[in-house]
Structure 1
């Protein structure tokens, strides 16, 4: 696993109590210890986890802010022996303004505080009543938990022992914006985006949220870990399902159950080499000016050798029947429209195709037939040729004949055995030796026949 450059990432939530920072601290430490025992290197919790998202006007209380800071300080002290990157949501006061922030802890040190940029103030949300936007806050520091800590939206966390692991952070609504901050973060080098969220549940919203996470990971050519608030938040106005998701380059790798009473933790191994490879290969992925961002160093070491993610045995074949049908239709239509354009462009008077009775030639023949139907051409312009040879079985031969006859195309049969034997004689090859020369002689003879027939029939 170490040689393959995987990083183990988790998204989690807790069964919190609103405005009870002491309880929430204990629950966070339980999840952090669980994550540590599973070999997790990076973990994200929902926004405002330390207090609860639904505190309302209690956010204005100095006492709550003090309890929040005290709980974070305790978490720092109790995780000093853990080289994990831990992202926790908390309300932070800066220059007499309140911000909804991600607090980043590593090896017991508070290394960064990142404020939310886009504050929803529509429908069921009214965050602007309590919080200020972090837009434009760059190059700042804040005195928090007795430390001078980088504060702003211009922060990238760079792993000192893995140069391909660069972490960026956004919070909830940031992802729903027209251009999410993660787009700029990824262009500046972030290979993993953490989203600390408190997204409530409405009918159909889970699918939209899932699509947002997966699609943003694809656009950013990055991994994306999304942790949303769950059980324990106030249900006065809203219900929070605790939806957690982890995606990589447009593929959903892990998704949590929703509506659990005890909190949740999902994790998977992110393949940093795939992300690096795709970014080098895709020329439209351009680098943002990195000078606009501050690098904050952190440490995270792999502690397990096994890979904690599943791979499909047939990665290019959809597992669901409906998706399989849709994919097959798309493949068929792409081939048909490509052939249609070519036939019209070069003015071919016929299409020559060798039909063996196998899957490949069957598909090719069906594409030819569909092309004729699309262009309104006589199917007799398709000249299907079966060319039995030394290895042709009766089953495949009969399959070819029946297919050609059922489709109503022009049919011709040409045996290649005599021509191949003459070729063997000319080059001095023993027909009983079934080597690559034996195999390729038959393939080349079939190709020659089809090309000559195409010349004869202007195909």
Structure 2
């Protein structure tokens, strides 16, 4: 919980219809199991104390009395448990029968949330026995204590005030305006649902989309516990389809037709960060709902949920291919519009035989196809210099030819040498001046060729390089339209691979695969024995780490210590703690110090949820201080 993670459980216990004693024992066993797994919230199905399928037995006093006594017993069972439990129970109040989700914590009944929408269609006939809950919550006298009763009660953790839980019951979430909407608008960050949704063909998919969609609409966690085996099969079958979702993502899902408990950790701070950024999510200023405090211990949550090593890249191959096609189309459409708008006669792309320039050339070729333009109007310029290897040079040339562009070669070594002489730089001094002089010369060449041909220079730099400032200011940093500006390095590789996989041109395919096998390098230092001597990731760090850091820092606003924790667990076996900490510190330092390069970026299309355009997603002063972020990291080192 210290970093916002709250472990939740959705439990479907074995039950017997109308056997309250048996059901109570099974519910208590599940609470014990959930508490043993350090879950802070556990949710049970609708009316699970009696069973949902009791029918007219719900009118029998003996059943209702036993259910009421069972609720007290279950509440007492939680006395020494560090957990908030929601249990479905029928409850008679003022002569009316209500379908209720009881919130239990530390031996107390904290509140009784009523079901608002009672289904009375098809296989459902709840209005035969039950009364819809009141419009507003009020207090009732329950076993000598005043207890909140009604819809949308908010349960707020005293040890973590950001954790606010509200319940709804089954059909409530299927209604046009679920009660959870108002609860979220008044601050609820987790919605729980005690449900009894039967299984019919295709209903599981709709249910999954519904629960995930509701969590996305509310920017909340959603814990859904469904009735399962043990309910009457006179007419229906219940599958125990439990779900835990967070802002549209399914964190955990039970296998249907098997009673079980599922667990996952909901990231409350992530949800709050999303709400702060989303200006259309407005919390209600007119607070009407009852808030009830509950207590759970604040401690470090052991994580079981999965954080992908490459958050920008879908793990599923089919989804990855679909995403790649979509991104390439977005990039090409953006460039198509810019070329048409500027009436550019040509597009000029500097090609090095590396991943980024390869992707830029592929995108440019697509844009020309969309425009119906001859790809000979694309000028692919290779500019060999001191660090160029034969492998990258040959790949650049072959690629340009196979994509149908005009290949142009401009050797810049002499021009750079003259420049060294002009500024008094020793060519044997391979410092940043040595490197940047080459990068700026290449940009000058590209710009002048574009002027001469009435064209525009297409930028090749990617978002990972922009995050780290790994670009020469007014060198490769500059262009007239940057097609890769919001594509991270880990995704660039997959886009090039996708292009290679789908092209029918076997020669182009071979070249692209070889580019994929080539180490990432700016090739600004002389090669050693004909091989690349300057490998970017040896200098600035592994891009898979930096993209991981970038995603969680910019997308969700995580503090460095939280990013470190996730990285340590995600990359276990790949990088040790010291290595992750080293590169994360470098990432933080460079991200802040290099903002000035991002503040004057050329235009370029946004393709995903993370982008660094100073005109759109990321507006940051160039002289912002990194002290707070670095201090957060220092605490990790001090803890050792």
Query: What is the TM-score normalised by the length of structure 1?
Result: 0.96
Q: Deviations over 1:311-346 (max 9, x none)?
A: 111111111111001100110111111111112222
Kindly indicate whether the alpha-carbon contact (under 8 Å) linking 1:198 and 1:228 is maintained by their aligned counterparts in 2.
yes
Counterpart CA distance in 1 for 2:206 and 2:432 is 54
Find the counterpart in structure 1 of residue 471 from structure 2.
Answer: none
Tell me what 1:359 maps to: 355
Which residue of 2 is the match for residue 445 of structure 1? Answer: 441
In structure 1, C-alpha distance between the alignment counterparts of 2:297 and 2:35, rounded to whole Å:
11
Aligned equivalent of 2:68: 69
Deviations 1:49-103 (A, max 9, x none): 1011111111111111111001011111222112311100011122222111110
CA distance in structure 2 between the partners assigned to 1:125 and 1:430 by the alignment: 86
434 and 203 in structure 1: CA distance in 2 versus 1, 3 angstrom threshold: farther
**2 CA distance for matches of 1:247 and 1:431?**
59
Whole-Å separation in 1 of the counterparts to 2:98 and 2:299: 35
| Alignment map for 1:186-197 (pairs within 5 Å) | 186-197=184-195
CA distance in 1, matches of 2:372, 2:3: 54
Question: Aligned ranges for residues 232-243 of structure 1 at < 5 Å?
Answer: 232-243=230-241
Q: SS in structure 2 opposite 1:8?
A: strand
1:315 to 2:314 alignment: no
**Contact preservation (8 Å) 2:7, 2:301:** no
Q: Does 1:415 align with 2:411?
A: yes
Kept after mapping to 1: 8 A contact 2:160/2:298? no
Which residue pairs with 1:60 in the alignment?
A: 59
Once the two structures are TM-superposed, the CA of residue 173 in structure 1 deviates from its matched residue by 1.3
Unaligned runs of 5+ in 1: none
- For 1:309 and 1:316, the matched residues in 2 are separated by 17
User: Alpha-carbon deviation of 1:447?
Assistant: 1.3
**Which residue of the partner structure matches residue 196 of structure 2?**
198
TM-superposed CA distance for 1:135, in Å, is 5.0
What does residue range 382-421 of structure 1 map to in structure 2 within 5 Å?
Answer: 382-421=378-417
More helix by share: 2
Quote the Cα distance in structure 2 between the aligned partners of 1:186 and 1:458.
55
Cα distance in 2 for partners of 1:309, 1:395 equals 43
8 Å contact 1:117–1:135 — kept in the other structure? yes
After superposition, the CA RMSD in angstroms is 1.5
Please give the TM-score of this superposition, normalised by the length of structure 2: 0.69
Identify the residue that residue 372 of structure 2 maps to in structure 1. Answer: 376
Structure-2 change in CA distance of 1:432 and 1:256 (3 Å):
farther
Deviations 1:256-289 (A, max 9, x none): 12212xx311111221111111111111111123
Q: What are the equivalent positions in structure 2 for 1:188-337 lying under 5 Å apart? A: 188-260=186-258, 263-337=259-333
- Number of positions where the alignment pairs a residue of Structure 1 with one of Structure 2: 455
* Counterpart contact for 2:365–2:375, Cα < 8 Å: yes
1:39 and 1:304 in contact (8 A); partners too: no
Match of 2:162 among 161, 164, 169: 164
Cα contact 2:35–2:82 (8 A) shared by 1: no
Q: 1:290: Cα distance to partner?
A: 4.6
Q: Distance in 2 between matches of 1:226 and 1:244?
A: 6
Unaligned runs of 5+ in 2: 456-640
Secondary structure of the corresponding residue to residue 239 of structure 2 = coil
Distance 1:429 1:294 in 2: 73
Instruction: Indicate which of 341, 344, 351 corresponds to 2:337.
Output: 341
